[in-house]
Amino acid sequence: MATQNREEALKCSTSTLMMIYYVIIGLAITEALQNAFIMDGSFIGERAISTANLPRTLLLFALLPTICRFVHGASMHLGLLGEKRFKPLLDFVWFFLQASIFYLMSFSLESPVPFSIFFGVLLLLDVAWLLLLGSIQYVKVGFTEIQWLVSDAAIIVALCGICLARERVGNTVAASLILSVAFLATVLDYAMNREFYFPSRDPSATEALREG
């Protein structure tokens, strides 16, 4: 009975933290859509792809798949009840910070540089969080976690290059490059970690993939 009560308490605690996380993510998506498509209280329509507004639209479509894969991974991670007593709280500290950065990114669609800075900070903190959890053995570092670390590092390098080249190539090209990087990262993440996001009925396949 005590074990059952403990598990129920952990589920309630995790569910509460997840709801707060989802609310902030929902606000971030709402603000991003409004900042990209609403001006002076009205929908801008075809002006979304005009020369002046196209970078904002491209950055929006870079943000959305990034949010999708991060939130999907966070939901999978938060949904796994571990033996560590403070795992839900430690997870929430990072995911609350992650959601807050996404919210700030939703206000930085006007230019690739501030967007890239927030994006880079998000990835750096993601690397730090994964390394921390691995070092204190709160998570088992397997194929998925290693792929995330490599992906984060590669995107950070790409973002630095795009920011350095932005003065020469302009905002539209820079935003297009950011969109390409974000979209490719999302596709590779889902393709390489499909057993993590969409586990097969054979548990041995999922375990083999996570162990690499």
Q: Which residues of the chain fall below pLDDT 50?
A: 1, 209, 212
In the prediction, which pLDDT does 36 show? 93
Q: Cα-atom radius of gyration of the chain, to the nearest Å?
A: 19
* pTM for the predicted model, two decimal places: 0.87
Can you spell out the DSSP letters for 125-172? HHHHHHHHHHHTTSS---HHHHHHHHHHHHHHHHHHHHHHHHHHHHHH
In the prediction, which pLDDT does 140 show? 80
Around Cβ 108, how many Cβ atoms within 10 Å?
Answer: 20
**H/E stretch holding 42:** strand 42-43
In the prediction, which pLDDT does 83 show? 56
Measure CA 8 to chain center. 28
Q: Do 37 and 43 form a contact (C-beta atoms < 8 A)?
A: yes
In the prediction, which pLDDT does 190 show? 96
In the prediction, which pLDDT does 79 show? 64
In the prediction, which pLDDT does 82 show? 54
In the prediction, which pLDDT does 39 show? 85
Q: What's the CA gap between 196 and 182, in Å, rounded? A: 20
Domain ranges within the chain, ordered by starting residue: 2-211
